[in-house]
Amino acid sequence: MAEVLVYVDHVDGAVRKPTLELLTLARRIGEPVAVALGAGAADTAATLAEHGAARVLTHDAAEYADYLVVPKVDALQAAYEAVSPAAVLVPSSAEGKEIAARLALRIGSGIITDAVDLEASDEGPVATQSVFAASFTTKSRIAKGAPVITVKPNSAAVEAAPAAGAVEALAVSFSEKATGTKITGRTPRESTGRPELTEAAIVVSGGRGVGGAENFAIVEALADSLGAAVGASRAAVDAGWYPHSSQVGQTGKSVSPQLYIASGISGAIQHRAGMQTSKTIVAINKDAEAPIFDLVDYGVVGDLFDVVPQLTEEVKAR
């Protein structure tokens, strides 16, 4: 069976959920071979094996932590040359997309970014994407080289699929450019205790209808009752009510949770671009004509200041 390289996103050996989702998709198109780099790389093997990795190629070097993405691209290229895979899958984070683009350029392959599904075909993997601000859903296939595909978080279920997960040391020699851009410091963001927006299974977002920074407390209370992340429309972010890191949409983050709750958001095309692939969409808006109601699974026409606290109490009571 053809092998499929899966780039592993992990923190000190703890594999992040988008990588486990990639393994589910990789198994549809071949046999997953994981590539784990940096501190704790070998510690990822057990988790990766439980989710279908036939082999885990590992390499640790200070360069991965000290410099920007080029050392990781060097390593992924080394893995590509060693394995000759049918495809390379990378999580669709900002870093993942940069790694994927650089790799595709180096190996002369086509790239598909932000895929939300993958299926096998006789001519190679077919990726589903939501494009042009989510106006169209397309299916595409790379015609040149082994496809490099980045996949949006929450696009597939995490599935247990025990496999060998044999750990093998990857031989990597860094290119001259590897040490071109050194990381001189890191400032950790204050933790909210909530899940990361792009990976959360549930997102509760607030828009201009929330009416002020202090009122976001009711959006946060609903999010906390559901174990959700908090998002915001650009109008709310531009007003300074919520940080830009929480903006959902064309110029913000793209999310694809199981459940997206939009409160006080009209549903402009640029907002839809970042959330339209959510599995179930709920909107709370006092204007029954708001465009957001065109794409919801469930809509509540009402004042969010009445509806959201009631919903929070109802969730807490369960």
Structure tokens at 255: 């999310």
| Candidate residues 235, 259, 281, 296; the one interacting with ligand FAD per rule CB under 6 A | 235
Please name the residues in contact with 237: beta carbons below 8 A apart, sequence gap of 6 or more: 243, 244, 246, 247, 252
- Measured CA to CA, the distance from residue 85 to residue 109 in angstroms comes to 12
Residue 252 makes contact with ligand FAD by CB under 6 A: yes
Residue 207 makes contact with ligand FAD by CB under 6 A: yes
Residue 266 makes contact with ligand FAD by CB under 6 A: yes
Residue 311 makes contact with ligand FAD by CB under 6 A: no
- 141 annotated ligand-binding residue: no
User: Which helix or strand (DSSP H or E) is residue 21 part of?
Assistant: helix 17-29
The DSSP bridge partners found for residue 263 are: 206, 284
- Measured CA to CA, the distance from residue 299 to residue 302 in angstroms comes to 9
Please identify, among the stretches 29-37, 173-181, 213-221, 232-240, the one whose residues bind ligand FAD according to the rule CB under 6 A: 232-240
Q: Find the Cα–Cα–Cα–Cα dihedral 242, 245, 248, 253, rounded to 10°.
A: 180
Alpha helices in 90-176 (DSSP H): 94-107
Report, in Å, the least distance between residue 223 CB and ligand FAD.
16
Residue 301 makes contact with ligand FAD by CB under 6 A: no
Strand order of the sheet with strand 259-263? 229-232, 202-206, 259-263, 280-285, 298-301
Contact characters 94-133, ligand FAD, x per CB under 6 A: ----------------------------------------
| Candidate residues 234, 242, 255, 261; the one interacting with ligand FAD per rule CB under 6 A | 234
- 211 annotated ligand-binding residue: no
- 250 annotated ligand-binding residue: yes
Q: Which is nearer to ligand FAD, 195 or 249 (CB)?
A: 249
Q: How far is CA 249 from the centre of its chain?
A: 14
- 109 annotated ligand-binding residue: no
Residue 285 makes contact with ligand FAD by CB under 6 A: yes
Please identify, among the stretches 62-70, 149-157, 205-213, 215-223, the one whose residues bind ligand FAD according to the rule CB under 6 A: 205-213
Residue 134 makes contact with ligand FAD by CB under 6 A: no
Using CB under 6 A, count the residues that bind ligand FAD. 28
| Candidate residues 154, 233, 246, 256; the one interacting with ligand FAD per rule CB under 6 A | 233
Give the SS3 label for residue 79.
helix
Classify burial at 140, counting beta carbons within 10 Å of its beta carbon; exposed 0-12, middle 13-18, buried 19 or more: middle
- Measured CA to CA, the distance from residue 123 to residue 144 in angstroms comes to 11
- Measured CA to CA, the distance from residue 218 to residue 37 in angstroms comes to 41
Half-sphere exposure of 288 (CA within 13 A, CB side): 0
Residue 271 makes contact with ligand FAD by CB under 6 A: yes
Report, in Å, the least distance between residue 313 CB and ligand FAD.
17
Q: Which is nearer to ligand FAD, 177 or 244 (CB)?
A: 244
Report, in Å, the least distance between residue 216 CB and ligand FAD.
12
- 47 annotated ligand-binding residue: no
Q: From residue 19, how far is each of 59, 138, 157, 233 by CA, in Å?
A: 17, 23, 11, 28
Give residues in contact with ligand FAD (CB under 6 A). Answer: 207-209, 233-236, 247-252, 264-266, 268, 270-271, 274, 284-287, 290, 303-305
Annotated binding site: 208, 233-234, 247-251, 264-271, 285
Annotated binding site for FAD: 208, 233-234, 247-251, 264-271, 285
